[in-house]
A and B are shown apart, each in its own frame.
Chain A
């Protein structure tokens, strides 16, 4: 008897996906189906982005398929996810490419299928493929504004700065560095070095330690992501040098740290609002499917986050930091 019931359960388990698949197809008639391909799910930024996209999808009553590469920032896996998603022929794609050039073959496939593509976070610049629009923070402006804030907050003239970048060759990182370099140059600062740390805490720790030794007298280290700044924080603190750090993005952890230390070392970050990006992308996807006109890009420059700014208290409150 018991064996029988177990056997039935197993059979049922195997059949469930079939049923689910079947019912999914029948429901496909009216509902809008959007495929969202993100870069990864290992840091707060993407978790928040996905959560907000899902919330928006629920609000607008559409189907949203979130596809995440198992290896963070893996272009190969993103290409596979595209092929996989194409089998369901969604009404619209939202893609945050891990590699702006590497993703192009996948984009070509979607172009062939005639499905509109919304690119977010990192732009695709290849002219041979067609994308509908770009949503994201203006990465160049993020780096630029943050650099200006760093100069303003330190009050140093002709200072020296190093930039810790993300993965080499990734557009979002390159643009942030380019923006920063432009601002520092304008304000008379010298960028002594740029070192990639692959968006990873431990790589940023080592890179910062090495930078601090190679360039004594450096004033600021600018990080292209806040998780790298958090990983490197101790290295900077323990060096005993008077070095400030600034970072693109913010997380609850970074805000808490800024509050607890009174912004002694991490003096500012620039918001790169993931919530806005996720929700906007879904909303624009729906508008596109419904045939409304879409602008070629929706760029947002995040606000500077520092105690001197107006939004400081509001930001702390939003993340429940007391």
Chain B
């Protein structure tokens, strides 16, 4: 029995263990990655690169739990940042710019949600079409050029201290985790992901759940866009083109699985972290950058296989033991 508990604990925290191993490995085998007197690199990862990836990946995780996918997040980041930036620059009103940006994110999310749940377009098709539409609008609005020179108060708002973006993203993630795991709404998301028809029959308003989830993803994308605006000092229509794939990768590496009804938003924290540490660490090891893609791809596969292995060998073979374990946990 104790052996089983140990095993399940190990499986539960496997991603965290991988992350710690990676951190220790890179710290030990390079001079520059992390040391007692060298915190800048790790702080860069945590404070600058981590927050935007975490937000889009958390959004993606919510959609994946609902048995969907959102391929329009990158384009949402671009369009919300562009429109927000244009308004901000022309009115010199930072608050208005941010508001517009968030509003655009919500509108895009609601459109996605309505397309999927009301009209009945499959998520993949709905969101990839939305991606084309948004990129198109972005190109027309920006005329292929970039927007830059934001009011200084905007940058001050997000970068007055190095910790702003980090704190914003963590607060949002824990809020999301709370909603997903402790509220009726969150349970409805899981139920919708497990079996939409059953959810409907048992009285869950799946239409509303879908729309709200996509609206939340829209807002998260806008906030990511705003962070990038402050980091990059300019926005172009190309912004975020790699985000959907990176978000899916972070979510999968974090231990979430396609199939719906499974996974946790908080898994994404470790998934995003592993991705960034690995890319950064390999560079510090002096490994040519082209290999980073290879390693990340391999990691996703390993992660998914590990997850499947979990289900088959652990749940099937030791069904009884697990059931009992669960009972004990509940009691």
Contacts and interface: CB of A to CB of B under 8 A. Distances in A.
Given A43-B236, A227-B236, A234-B231, A209 B48 contact: yes
B143 A200 contact: no
A217 to B, nearest CB: 10
Contact of B280 (A194, A201, A210): A210
Interface string B206-227: 0000000000000000000000
Contact of A70 (B49, B52, B132): B132
B146 A44 contact: yes
A306 B286 CA distance: 32
A213 B236 contact: no
Given A72-B241, A202-B239, A233-B233, A209 B49 contact: yes
B279 interface: yes
* Residue from A193, A195, A213 having most chain B Cβ neighbours under 10 A: A213
Contact of A213 (B40, B136, B279): B40
Interface string A40-56: 11111011000000000
Contacts of B237: 41-42
Contact of B234 (A46, A214, A253): A253
A203 B49 CA distance: 10
Interface in B32-76: 32-33, 40-41, 44, 48-49, 52
B232 A203 contact: no
Nearest to B237: A42
Interface residues of B, number: 39
Contacts of A209: 44, 48-49
A44 B144 contact: yes
A261 B232 CA distance: 16
A168 interface: yes
A40 B241 CA distance: 13
B105 interface: no
B231 A200 contact: no
Chain A: number of interface residues, binned into ranges: 35 or more
A93 interface: no
A213 B47 CA distance: 14
A193 B286 contact: yes
Contacts of A253: 146, 148, 234
Given A41-B144, A195-B289, A210-B280, A200 B242 contact: yes
B232 A198 contact: no
B242 to A, nearest CB: 7
Interface string A212-229: 011110000000000100
Given A70-B135, A214-B32, A202 B232 contact: yes
Given A42-B236, A210-B280, A215 B242 contact: no
A137 to B, nearest CB: 19
B205 interface: no
Interface string B289-308: 11000000000000000000
A159 interface: no
A213 B44 contact: yes
Contacts of A195: 283, 289
Interface string A225-239: 001001101110001
Given A205-B232, A234-B231, A251 B238 contact: no
Can you list the 3 inter-chain pairs with the closest CB atoms, starting with the nearest?
A213-B41, A47-B144, A42-B238
